[in-house]
Structure 1
Amino acid sequence: MTTWTSEELMAWQPPPGWHELDGDQRRAHLDQRGIQLPLRPADWEILDHDQRMTYLTWYARILGDTPEARAAKEREYRKELRAWRVLMCWWIFCLFVGLGLVWGTSALGEGTGLRVGITVFVVAGYAAAIFVPMRLNKPVPHA
């Protein structure tokens, strides 16, 4: 077996249809052609950190991006998105319960101005403390 440098390995291009092959099929394809993609190429020791990370990213893309891995990422994304949606619904429910207590009870008497003030305060506080951060942290599909 010849030892390949990282440049030689990364110059290799996968054949058409590679993207649809699972991990075992990819390894079998490489074995049939006598290609072994080592986790660490021959020049690993002389590579700087950025070069090592570039090689490991390439390696993961070539061998790790299988249909099974993509399906697992999609399932994880769906799970995170569902949890995010449940939490958002919970906060919206709590907001409406709070506003229902302000507007639906006579605890504040006839103080409409006070009710409007509390409503503005609660909605602004909700937006600043809950809604905006939750929107910023909404799960996104994995690349």
Structure 2
Amino acid sequence: MTLRTSRDFMAWQPPTGWRELRGDQRHSYLEQHGIRIPLRPADWEQLDHDRRMAYLAWHSQILSDTPDARAAKEREYRKDLRAWNVLMGWWILCLLVGLGIVWGTGALGESIGLRIGITLFAGVGYTMAIFIPMLISRPSPPCT
């Protein structure tokens, strides 16, 4: 099969069951059918940046998106999410300990206004400095 341009390569449809094949099985299938998918097709120099990126994404999907790679991405996501949950729990524990010291001890005397002020300052400061950035940086699951 003679595929030369990026349009020809990207028009090629893999056979059914392709997603379940391992990398070596994919390469052997391509070799058996005489398909050689280069990293850069013949029309690489004529392609604009968006078409180049589309071709590279297609190339990666065809050759690298194997069940093993998807499982590795899922394991990495679960590891990152576990670390994120531990860090978030640590920050909540620190906040609760700080508030426990303010409200549970006699360190500030009988000044309720000062305790409420420190509580509001800690709550707002924690939300702005830790909680919102942590929510934004929460790991997202891999695309399948």
Instruction: Report the TM range for the smaller structure's normalisation.
Output: over 0.9
Deviation at 1:25, TM superposition (A): 0.6
Q: How many angstroms apart in 2 are the aligned matches of 1:59 and 1:21?
A: 15
Q: How many angstroms apart in 1 are the aligned matches of 2:125 and 2:113?
A: 18
Q: How many angstroms apart in 2 are the aligned matches of 1:138 and 1:68?
A: 24
Instruction: Out of 40-49 and 10-19, give the one that drifted further.
Output: 40-49
Q: How many angstroms apart in 2 are the aligned matches of 1:25 and 1:72?
A: 18
Pairing 1:4–2:4 present: yes
Task: Report the AA paired with residue 95 of structure 2.
Answer: L
Q: How many angstroms apart in 1 are the aligned matches of 2:83 and 2:133?
A: 15
Q: Deviations over 1:84-137 (max 9, x none)?
A: 111101101110110011011111111112111211111111111111110111
Secondary structure class of the residue paired with 1:58: helix
State the superposition RMSD in angstroms: 1.2
Give the fraction of aligned pairs with identical amino acids, expressed as a percent.
66
Q: Matched residue pairs, number?
A: 143
User: How high is the TM-score relative to the length of structure 1?
Assistant: 0.95
Moved over 6 A (4+): none
Deviation at 1:2, TM superposition (A): 4.1
Q: Deviations over 1:17-42 (max 9, x none)?
A: 00100100111111111111111111
Report what 1:96 is aligned to. 96
After TM superposition, the structure 1 = structure 2 runs for residues 34-73 of structure 1, keeping only pairs within 5 Å, are 34-73=34-73
User: How high is the TM-score relative to the length of structure 2?
Assistant: 0.95
Contact 1:30 1:36 in 2 (8 A): yes
